Amino acid sequence: MLYDVVIVGAGSMGMAAGYYLAKAGKRVLMLDAFHPPHEEGSHHGDTRIIRFAYGEGTSYVPFVKRAGELWQELESLVDERLFLQTGVINIGEPTSSSIQNVKASAQLYHLALECYSAEEAMEKWPGLALPANLVACFEPTAGVLRVEACIQAYKKLALAAGATLQTNDRVLAIQAGDIVHIQTANNVYQAKQLIVTAGAWATELLATMNITIPVTPTRKTFAWFEADEQLYRDAVFPAYGIELADSFYYGFPSMDGAGLKLGRHDGGEVVDPNEPLRPFDDDDREDLQQFIQQFMPQHGALKYGKTCKYSMTPDEDFIIDFLPNHQNIVIAAGFSGHGFKFSSAVGDVLSELLLDGTSKQDLTPFKLSRFR
């Protein structure tokens, strides 16, 4: 069968794109090496932060605002709560890049933002312990996305719109042309257009077409700690990001009694996505425990830790672009640990690129050509 569009990688971005394209009347096949949602991509771990006063730069704000609109639309379509408005607090030195960008984003786009000294923040959130040199910027309209539920929602809508999902079928090679041939472990598929949203595997898949992209799979860690629910439950404590001089941590309030969730955003080790990740170990535990002991000292014992993969670009900005000399193939990759919140809008953008050849979003910062 000749498909209008084949999507390689049916995770957060791919599943959303599959829905929007199927809704537009395209014959869509979504391929995944696993069975989404799963723990091999960047979408597991229950929750992701969505924030609009964006610490990575003001250029992201229109994009994430569009994503927020689409998450709300998705909630109404499936009649399920996907977004929890816990608020998000950004903490750092006043001169830090994230704090400066958060303030600039809020000012430029008229976003609600409350700024506090360390003393004021500790009074407002007694679970925090902050050095006096830090400040806190609280975004009350931001919050948390339930990641697996988000993917399940797009999966439900995509299939209802007529898309086909083929799971546990790994793509081995791609042959470009007017008709794209996609070789999997079990079959060969043909498509007029192709989307590659393969996460940590994007680099090796494009290598089968002799195309190189600078996306590096990187091991990351996160964990849950016992929490005093009076201090840390989601009704009274926000999601958070804390930038220090030499590190960046993020986390979530205790939701449904799960405990405080904490992860480290920076650092990590380069990995082969085809090899099992080194399990959460004593070094990972020590790193996270040292941080949480300093900044949220009233936490309880470590419950358990996990590992995941980021797909890093050198500048930590995304790649969303047509492949060079292939106007029927689009790549979305390198989301560098801050992409999930955008996945609703990325899916929409990918559908626009294939349907119209362009997008209403400004994708200039995400072009592949910036690496040449």
- Alpha carbon distance 258, 340 (integer Å): 21
Report CA 229 to chain centroid distance, whole Å.
27
- Alpha carbon distance 141, 107 (integer Å): 15
Q: Is 103 helix (H, G, I), strand (E, B) or coil?
A: helix
The contacts found for 282-290 with CB under 8 angstroms, 24 or more apart, are 284/221, 284/223, 285/223, 287/221, 288/221, 288/222, 288/223, 288/249, 288/262, 288/263, 288/264
- Alpha carbon distance 49, 84 (integer Å): 10
DSSP string of 154-218, one letter each residue: HHHHHHHTT-EEE-S--EEEEE-SSSEEEEESS-EEEEEEEEE--GGGHHHHHHTTT-----EEE
Kindly state the DSSP code that residue 336 receives in the 8-state scheme. T
Catalytic residues: 44, 47-48, 261, 265, 308, 341
DSSP string of 224-275, one letter each residue: EE---HHHHBTTT--EEEEE-SS-EEEEE-B-TT--EEEEE-S--EE--TTS
DSSP string of 277-319, one letter each residue: PPPP-HHHHHHHHHHHHHH-TT---EEEEEEEEEEE-TTS--E
Contacts of 15 (CB under 8 A, 6+ apart): 30, 36, 151, 154, 155, 158, 347
Contact between 30 and 196 (Cβ < 8 Å): no
- In this structure, the number of other CB atoms found within 10 A of the CB of residue 15 comes to 31
